[in-house]
Structure 1
Amino acid sequence: MKLLHYTYRKLSLLLLLLMAAWGVLFYYAIIDEVMDETDDTLENYSEILINNALMDPSVLETEGTLMSFYKFRPISEEEAEDYDEKYYDSTVYIESEDEDEPVRVLKTVFRMPDGQYYELELMISILERDDMVEAILWYLGALFLLFLICTSIGTRLILQSVFRPLQRLLDWLQQIQPGKELPVLDNPTKIREFQQLGEAAVDMGNRSYKAYEEQKQFIENASHELQTPLAIVRGKVELLAENESMTEQQLKELDEIYATLGRAVRLNKSLLLLSRIENGQYTETEDVSVDEVLDELLPDLMDIYEGKKIHLVRIKGEEPFVIRCNLSLTQILVSNLVKNSLVHNHAGGELYIETTSSSLIIKNSGEHPLDGEKLFRRFYRSIDGKKDSTGLGLAIARSIAISASLSLTYKWQEGMHLFLLVKESEKKS
């Protein structure tokens, strides 16, 4: 979720809660104000009626109209002394409408000049609470909707303006590529935090570029410097092996040293290759047919491992599997996968290779499943791993696959090791 949408959603939720709380407070405030005004009206009207009754006792025999009904009732002095004036809500049956209507009632007491006490019951028709609640809710809903639309548009425009420098910074970060100089960051802003963020991003980018260049240079220099002494040592071992005075035991030990040096040379080359792949130094790419690469490599590889009597099953799809990758890296990728399936296959085993328009499937016979999480790590060797293996073949294959937007996975299926190479776009779909 985008930061803009997340912030907008949180603000809208806050506004909703505030409007709901305000609506409740507004409702009770209106009800309280209406009741106060009604009670004031009742009090004023009762004073008028009492004054009229004091001036003209015949008023005591009258009753009010429907909208302001009143009546007088004589009471005793004892009842008058304990009488408390009170306001309350009640209902009155309206015969013409055949329903009860809400009224506000005032009951008070007063004394006539002749000493007789009277109770005055005064009623005023009021608006039904349900009608009032419905009206208030309707107007509040309309007000909230209008307010939300206005604030949403305003908030969105403001947030877009506020977060525009951040969006420019994100676009700039996406333009950064390993091994290439940083593009110029044109991101004017008056917001101090965004200024500091931009400065920190540029500083970090420059340091990363410098570290990348230094690392690349170091790896190339280290690899080059190691190649020469390794070649010299191998040459001296070969010269020692040609010495006729060497015993059989010494020759055996020299052979082991020579094999170890050979693994060191291969390891040095593999590490250099892996570093260059991960640093994105193979920038030249083209459309490469994996089927054609297989057709070139398979005869030679099968000849090398002819002694294992492995049965090859090759299935081609209607359309070739074409990927966008460096040609040399594609050859290394396919070669490593096929060699891995040959080396770790048992004598007389099966090798199944299938290509479709979007995938490469390689299966080989096996004794037990492997750890799919560790399999592609550097220097990982299975239980039956070969002694002369560098442990980098599948790590290199995975790095090449990632650089070419491919997915390389492993699983154990029906007693066979299965490696699946598929385009990331096809995997997502």
Structure 2
Amino acid sequence: MKLLHYTYRKLSLLLFLLMAAWGVLFYYAIIDEVMDETDDTLENYSEILINNALMDPSVLETEGSLMSFYKFRPISEKEAEDFDDEYYDSTVYIESEDEYEPVRVFKTVFRMPDGQFYELEMMISILERDDMVEAILWYLGALFLLFLICTSIGTRLILQSVFRPLQRLLNWLQQIQPGRELPALDNPTKIREFQQLGEAAVDMGNRSYKAYEEQKQFIENASHELQTPLAIVRGKVELLAENESMTEEQLKELDEIYATLGRAVRLNKSLLLLSRIENGQYTETEDVSVDEVLDELLPDLMDIYEGKKIHLERAKGEEPFVIRCNHALAQIMVSNLVKNSLLHNREGGELHIVTTASSLIIKNSGEHPLDGEKLFRRFYRGIDGKKDSTGLGLAIARSIALSASLSLTYKWQEGMHLFLLVKEPQKKS
């Protein structure tokens, strides 16, 4: 989820909760105010009725209309002493409407000049009050919705403007490629934090580019400096081997030294290749058909390991397996996988190679499963590790696969080692 959308959702949720809380408080405040106003009306009207009754006792025999109904009831002195004024909501049956209507009731007690106590019960219809509250709620809801929409749109526009420098910085970071100078960062902003972030990103990018160049130069120099003495030593070993005075035992020792030097040369080249791959120095890519690469490599590789009498089964899909990769690296990756399956296969074993439009499957006979977590590490050798192996073939294949957005995995299936190379799914932004 984008930072803009995340922030917008959080602010919208907070705004909604605040507005909802304000709406509830406003509603109850309005209800309380209307109730107080109704009670004040009842109290004022009751005072008028009591004053009229004190001046004209005949009022005690009257009753009010529907909208302001009242009645008097004589009570004893004891009832009057225990009586407290009260307000409450009730309902009254209306014959003409054949239904009950809500009313607000007020009861109080007063004393006539002759000493008789009377209870005054007074009612006011609250239909108008309910209508008013309903109208207030409708207007309040409409106002709430309009305010929420306006503030949400305004908040989104403001956030887009605020985060625009961050988006420009992210776009600039995505343009950075290993081994290439940093592009110019054009990101004017008045926000101090974004200014500092941009300066830090440029500084880190420059340091990363400098470190990359230094590491690249060091690796190439180290590899070159190692290759020269190794080549000299191998040449001298060859000269010694041509010396007729050498005994058979000495020649055997020289042969082992020569083989060890050969492994050192291959190891040096493999480490240099692995470092270049991981540093992203192979930037030129193209569409490479894995099927065509296999067609080129398999005849030569099968000839090399002809003595093991390995049975090859090859199956192709309706469409070729095409990957986006540096062509030379694609050849190395496929070659390493096939070589590994041939080198660590048993005599008379099976080698199955299957290609589809989206995958490459290589299976070879084996005696026992391997550790899938350690298998692709540098210098890892299984139980049947060969002396001629550098232990870097699968590590190089995995690095090439990762650089080409491919997934290379291993598993043990039905007595065979299985290597699966597939395209990784595209990540959604």
Place the TM-score, normalised by the shorter chain, in its bin: over 0.9
Alpha-carbon separation, structure 1, partners of 2:54 and 2:428 = 94
Q: Does 1:386 align with 2:386?
A: yes
Please state whether the residue corresponding to 1:425 is helix, strand or coil. coil
CA offset digits 1:22-73 (Å, max 9, x no partner): 2221222122111110111011101111111111111111001101111111
CA offset digits 1:328-373 (Å, max 9, x no partner): 2222112111101100111100111222333322111112222223
Change (3 A) 1:16 1:198: same
Alpha-carbon separation, structure 1, partners of 2:134 and 2:269 = 81
TM-score, scaled to structure 1: 0.93
Please state whether the residue corresponding to 2:221 is helix, strand or coil. helix
Using the TM superposition, give the Cα deviation of residue 428 of structure 1 relative to its aligned residue in structure 2, in angstroms: 10
Alpha-carbon separation, structure 1, partners of 2:305 and 2:133 = 89
Alpha-carbon contact 1:110-1:117 (below 8 Å) kept: yes
Alpha-carbon contact 1:102-1:128 (below 8 Å) kept: no
Decide which moves more: 161-170 or 275-284.
275-284
TM-score, scaled to structure 2: 0.93
Alpha-carbon separation, structure 1, partners of 2:403 and 2:328 = 13
Alpha-carbon separation, structure 2, partners of 1:132 and 1:260 = 99
Change (3 A) 1:93 1:300: same
Please state whether the residue corresponding to 2:354 is helix, strand or coil. strand
- Tell me what 2:230 maps to: 230
Change (3 A) 1:59 1:146: same
Using the TM superposition, give the Cα deviation of residue 427 of structure 1 relative to its aligned residue in structure 2, in angstroms: 11
- Tell me what 2:269 maps to: 269
Alpha-carbon contact 2:31-2:133 (below 8 Å) kept: no
Alpha-carbon contact 1:358-1:426 (below 8 Å) kept: no
Decide which moves more: 196-205 or 86-95.
86-95
- Tell me what 1:340 maps to: 340
- Tell me what 1:116 maps to: 116
Change (3 A) 1:309 1:134: farther
Alpha-carbon contact 2:321-2:356 (below 8 Å) kept: yes
Count of residues paired in the alignment? 429
Alpha-carbon separation, structure 2, partners of 1:254 and 1:140 = 98
Alpha-carbon contact 1:313-1:353 (below 8 Å) kept: yes
Decide which moves more: 211-220 or 224-233.
224-233
Alpha-carbon separation, structure 1, partners of 2:328 and 2:282 = 9
Change (3 A) 1:356 1:82: closer
Alpha-carbon separation, structure 2, partners of 1:395 and 1:171 = 32
Change (3 A) 1:75 1:318: closer
Using the TM superposition, give the Cα deviation of residue 268 of structure 1 relative to its aligned residue in structure 2, in angstroms: 0.6
Change (3 A) 1:35 1:287: closer
Alpha-carbon separation, structure 2, partners of 1:71 and 1:412 = 97
Alpha-carbon separation, structure 2, partners of 1:63 and 1:428 = 78
- Tell me what 2:17 maps to: 17
Alpha-carbon contact 1:309-1:348 (below 8 Å) kept: yes
Alpha-carbon contact 2:102-2:127 (below 8 Å) kept: yes
Alpha-carbon contact 2:108-2:119 (below 8 Å) kept: yes
Using the TM superposition, give the Cα deviation of residue 229 of structure 1 relative to its aligned residue in structure 2, in angstroms: 1.3
Using the TM superposition, give the Cα deviation of residue 147 of structure 1 relative to its aligned residue in structure 2, in angstroms: 1.8
Alpha-carbon separation, structure 2, partners of 1:260 and 1:52 = 127
Alpha-carbon separation, structure 1, partners of 2:290 and 2:106 = 97
Alpha-carbon separation, structure 1, partners of 2:46 and 2:321 = 99
CA offset digits 1:183-221 (Å, max 9, x no partner): 111111111111111111111111110000000000000
Using the TM superposition, give the Cα deviation of residue 113 of structure 1 relative to its aligned residue in structure 2, in angstroms: 2.0
Identical aligned residues as a percent: 93
Using the TM superposition, give the Cα deviation of residue 135 of structure 1 relative to its aligned residue in structure 2, in angstroms: 5.2
Using the TM superposition, give the Cα deviation of residue 246 of structure 1 relative to its aligned residue in structure 2, in angstroms: 4.3
Alpha-carbon contact 2:8-2:155 (below 8 Å) kept: yes
CA offset digits 1:81-134 (Å, max 9, x no partner): 332222122222222222222211111111222222221111111149987776
Please state whether the residue corresponding to 2:107 is helix, strand or coil. strand
Alpha-carbon separation, structure 2, partners of 1:351 and 1:418 = 10
Unaligned runs of 5+ in 2: none
Using the TM superposition, give the Cα deviation of residue 307 of structure 1 relative to its aligned residue in structure 2, in angstroms: 0.9
Alpha-carbon contact 2:314-2:353 (below 8 Å) kept: yes
Using the TM superposition, give the Cα deviation of residue 137 of structure 1 relative to its aligned residue in structure 2, in angstroms: 4.9
Change (3 A) 1:210 1:282: same
Structure 1 vs Structure 2 CA RMSD: 2.3
- Tell me what 1:317 maps to: 317
- Tell me what 2:199 maps to: 199
Unaligned runs of 5+ in 1: none
